Amino acid sequence: MDNRDSIKKRICHSRIISLRLKDRISQLPDEILTNILYLLPVKEATRTSVLSCRWKNLWTYVPSLIIKDYMSSPEIELRPVRKCRFTLDVFRTYNPSQELTILLDYDGTTSRDVNEWINFAMENWVKMLDLNLEQYYTIEKKFPVMKDFPLTKLFLTEVNVIGEVLEHYVSNCPFLEELYVSSSNSLVNLRLVDQPPKLSIFQVAHCSNLENLEISAPNLVSFGYVGPKIKNMTLKHVPLLSKVAFGGKYCESIEFDSDQHASYLSQLKKLVLYFTKEVVDRTLLFPYKLPVFCNLKKVELKVHTYLGQSLLPLIALIIASPLLKIFSLELEMDYSHKPSENEKLVENYNIWKASKHPHQCLKKIKWVGFDGSGSHVDFAKDLLDVAVSLKTFIIDTVYPNIALSEDHAEFIKRWQIAVVAACKIAQAHPGINYFIDC
Amino acid sequence: MASSSTSVVVSNKEKENKNTKKVTLKSSDGESFEVDESVAMESQTIKHIIEDGCANNEIPLPNVTSGILSRVIEYCKKHKEAAGESEPSVTSYTSNSTTNPLTEWDTEFVKVDQNTLFDLILAANYLDIKGLLDLTCKTVADMMKGKTPQEIRETFHIKNDYTPEEEAEVRKENQWAFE
């Protein structure tokens, strides 16, 4: 009796123990373990090969990039920030995948030539190359490149590259569809003429020394530029261009009716304008003359503005776009800015009476950052005067950064004013579906 | 022309709207959970079931126990609430990057024992909830970081079934990783 009991106890005890100490991680399916391994530094992921037989080759399903520098001793281990890493050293065990992405995060501590490993990496199945080099690194030499890389997307952030070199690289990427260049101080002139042929999205941002940008791209659908004013921006032969985004100080001086932009204006379906903080001192919110955007269906504005600034000039965009369906406005309010005398004079500058320009197509307006102040209410009324066919008006009274920067009581007070004002407007203008988000 | 009716929808994101569609999820151990359809659709698996019209208001989830399912629902609710409506219209090169406001909540959420953690991973995988899968996988990866293979074995109770010769050979093959 006692024996059996004690044996039973021992069995139960050991069963419980083994449950608690079950190796659950090895039971996970391969794809989940691969997910986990790619979050580890390359060497650590590789070291899991000795954990048990199950783990022997798991790490090889996670491609990682290690360049062995045979000239100098420390090899560069590239720590992945996002998706994939690519192994060169253990080439033979590499399992190629269709969608290979390389993200290179380089801290510039060795003298290794970035050019060489970009090209080395490019030789092997790379579809998307995203270079974000935290310390400015210069790609200068025209390194001989292999023809016909499968690269489809190229992101260059904080990589100093001059126009010539960039042109050279992309002309060897016949499949390149998306090109994003950001914060390259050496970029002065860039000419992309019919190369790469499949280029469909191109964005340039914060390249403060850029002077000349010339694009001729038969498949370009979307173009974006954010930054200071540049001497010359020419978009030639862009028959498919339908979406354009401009931001930064460049917005101050766009002359839509100049040669720079005139060629594609009638094609535009979507226009995004991003008036950043640097532009808040301008005297007139919207200083330029507008041509007619005969195909423009959607406008998105993100505007940094101050309390009391008249938003009326923005109506000009609506009037200039007879087929406009959606007008989206996001306001970032600067409550500390005091308008100068010049700005105050302009407040009274009424360009047109909004009600004299009824717009037949505008169906939806979305406004993020409505605060119920005088100029906001006035603008809302102007919008409603213009948009005689309006079906939907979304008013979002929660603006992006305000809750973080102000004290809670102030925020609640402003928010209440905004909601009350929005409801009043809705009541005064029936016949429309209002969505007031608070 | 404009319609003759006006509707004003004032939505308070903190309160639940009375008229939203609900769906019932049934765990493997027979417990039912009623949730907003929009919350349930954080799971791509459930989303497909609903969109294919196979829902019938009650969706059985034979691979998920009630304990885990209730946690998953908690996660989905919290993340659905926090999700903004608008998408950035220009890429991250031109807009300010934002930090995830739920980071703290997420960190607390995954402070669970190993068993629960792995159950959450499997559930997130089965239900195809990317955010939860990423979160839980990252938690496991953090538990592995900085540890030697032996320490990893101890943490996760992995039995080393290599013979000494086999292990030596694997180490040699991948020598560069052990230096």
- With CB atoms and an 8 Å threshold, state whether A438 touches B12: yes
Q: Which of B69, B52, B54 is nearest to B127 (CA)?
A: B69
Mean pLDDT of chain A: 72
The encoded tokens of residue A173 equal 């990427």
Minimal CA separation from A413 to chain B, in Å = 16
Higher confidence at residue B90 or residue A129? Answer: A129
Q: β-pairing, B32-36 with B22-26?
A: antiparallel
Nearest to B94 among A25, A56, A274 (CB): A274
Whether pLDDT at B84 is above 70: no
Nearest to A224 among B90, B149, B166 (CB): B90
CB A308 within 8 A of CB A336: no
Listed in sequence order, the residues at least 6 apart from B143 whose beta carbon sits closer than 8 Å to its beta carbon are: B155, B156
Nearest to A272 among B9, B90, B161 (CB): B90
Q: Which of B65, B82, B78 is nearest to B25 (CA)?
A: B65
Higher confidence at residue B85 or residue A395? Answer: A395
Minimal CA separation from B174 to chain A, in Å = 7
Residue B102, class by beta-carbon neighbours within 10 Å (0-12 exposed, 13-18 middle, 19+ buried)? middle
Mean pLDDT of chain B: 82
pLDDT attached to residue A339:
66
- Mean per-residue pLDDT for A95-99? 34
Q: Which of A328, A329, A256, A258 is nearest to A294 (CA)?
A: A256
CB A202 within 8 A of CB A222: yes
B5 touches chain A (CB under 8 A): yes
At residue A344 the predicted structure's pLDDT band, cuts being 50, 70 and 90, is low
Instruction: Identify the DSSP state of A135.
Output: E
CB A24 within 8 A of CB B114: yes
Minimal CA separation from B90 to chain A, in Å = 7
Cα separation of B37 and A176, whole Å?
Answer: 40
Which residue in this structure is represented by tokens 């309390």? A307
pLDDT attached to residue A22:
85
Q: Which of A215, A237, A99, A226 is nearest to A167 (CA)?
A: A215
What would the pLDDT profile of A20-58 be if each residue is shown by its tens digit?
A: 568 899 999 988 998 898 788 777 888 999 999 999 988
Nearest to A434 among B9, B125, B149 (CB): B9
Cα separation of A372 and A107, whole Å?
Answer: 47
Q: Which of B3, B10, B14 to mutate to probe the A interface, most A CBs <10 Å?
A: B10
Determine what percent of chain B is predicted with pLDDT higher than 70.
Answer: 78
pLDDT attached to residue B138:
93
At residue B121 the predicted structure's pLDDT band, cuts being 50, 70 and 90, is very high
Cα separation of A365 and A391, whole Å?
Answer: 9
The encoded tokens of residue A159 equal 């990589």
A103-114 b/e (C-beta count within 10 Å ≥ 16 → b): bbebeeeeebbb
- Mean per-residue pLDDT for B26-51? 91
Nearest to B93 among A89, A226, A431 (CB): A226
Residues in chain B closer than 8 A to A384 (CB atoms): none
B8 touches chain A (CB under 8 A): yes
Q: Which of A214, A310, A208 is nearest to A250 (CA)?
A: A208
Residues in chain A closer than 8 A to B159 (CB atoms): 23, 52
Residues in chain A closer than 8 A to B9 (CB atoms): 433-436
- Mean per-residue pLDDT for A434-438? 81
Cα separation of B141 and B154, whole Å?
Answer: 15
User: Which helix H or strand E contains A247, and what residues bound it?
Assistant: strand A243-247
- Cα A350–chain centre separation: 35
The encoded tokens of residue A269 equal 């379906």
Minimal CA separation from A427 to chain B, in Å = 8
CB B136 within 8 A of CB B110: yes
Cα separation of B141 and A37, whole Å?
Answer: 7
What is the number of CB-based contacts under 8 A between chain A and chain B? 164
Residues in chain B closer than 8 A to A24 (CB atoms): 114-115, 118, 156
Q: Residue A219 to residues A34, A147, A153, A195: CA-CA distances in angstroms?
A: 37, 21, 15, 10
Q: What phi-psi label fits residue B83: left (phi over 0), alpha (psi between -120 and 50 degrees) or beta?
A: beta
Whether pLDDT at A112 is above 50: no
- Output the pTM of the full model: 0.55
